[in-house]
């Protein structure tokens, strides 16, 4: 790359002015992109029409609509519909952001690819829905840790007086009951 300040002083000043103007233009485009990205939202409706979810550019829920049809569904079905619809809305964000970025900073492919790639990693396409035939239809784990598949044995209860440490057999000392 040639030195922008080498050569004629008039040429150098013109090149510096041009570089400053280009930098200002680029900064304006990036500010416009940031503003436009901040306005992005995606709305997705579940395939059964039960749930509609809107997310902002960060993937946060900004609107949730649930129809009165939920009265005919179990809690597990409603939870699954909300989560599935939310994930589908979030998974649409990378494409929507790519469109906005192409309109504002379209010539900076590397920045667009990096940002869109980060969004794709954060909000991947949801897995296809497959109902589990053995699933309990009345209970749904909403993001907590999955329980072990083997049931835990019940705690062993000793009769009162079977210990010399003051434990009454129910996890408390007889001295601390209120």
Q: Does residue 8 surpass a pLDDT of 90?
A: no
Q: What is the DSSP letter of 72?
A: G
The DSSP symbol for 140 reads -
What is the rounded distance in angstroms from the CA atom of residue 37 to the CA atom of residue 35?
Answer: 6
Question: Token pair for residue 89?
Answer: 């809305």
> Comparing 155 with 73, which gets the higher pLDDT?
73
**Mean pLDDT, the chain, whole residue set:** 79
Structure tokens at 162: 């079977």
Question: Of 110-114, 116-120, 158-162, 172-176, which gets the smallest average pLDDT?
Answer: 172-176
The pLDDT value recorded for residue 56 is 96
Q: What are phi and psi of 63, to 5 degrees?
A: -155, 140
Q: Are 115 and 123 in contact (CB under 8 A)?
A: no
pLDDT at 138: 52
Answer yes or no: is pLDDT of 59 > 60: yes
Q: pTM (2 decimals)?
A: 0.62
pLDDT beyond 70 at 57: yes
pLDDT band at 174 (very low <50, low <70, confident <90, very high): very low
pLDDT of residue 106: 82
Over 50: is that where the pLDDT of 132 sits? no
On the question of pLDDT at 7 being above 90, the answer is no
Mean pLDDT, range 141-154, rounded to an integer: 53
Mean pLDDT, range 13-18, rounded to an integer? 93
């Amino acid at each position: 790359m040639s030195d922008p300040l080498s050569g004629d002083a008039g040429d150098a000043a013109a090149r510096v002015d041009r570089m400053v103007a280009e930098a200002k233009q680029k900064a304006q485009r990036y500010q416009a992109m940031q503003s436009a990205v901040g306005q992005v939202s995606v709305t997705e409706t579940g395939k059964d029409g039960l749930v509609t979810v809107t997310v902002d550019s960060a993937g946060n829920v900004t609107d949730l609509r649930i129809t009165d049809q939920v009265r005919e569904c179990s809690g597990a079905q409603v939870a699954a519909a909300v989560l599935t619809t939310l994930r589908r809305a979030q998974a649409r964000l990378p494409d929507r952001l790519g469109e906005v970025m192409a309109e504002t900073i379209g010539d900076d492919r590397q920045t667009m690819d990096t940002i869109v790639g980060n969004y794709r990693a954060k909000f991947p396409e949801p897995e296809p829905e497959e109902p589990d035939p053995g699933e309990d239809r009345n209970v749904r784990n909403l993001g907590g840790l999955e329980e072990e598949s083997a049931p835990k044995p019940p705690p062993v209860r000793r009769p009162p007086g079977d210990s010399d440490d003051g434990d009454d057999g129910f996890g408390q000392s007889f001295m601390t009951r209120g």
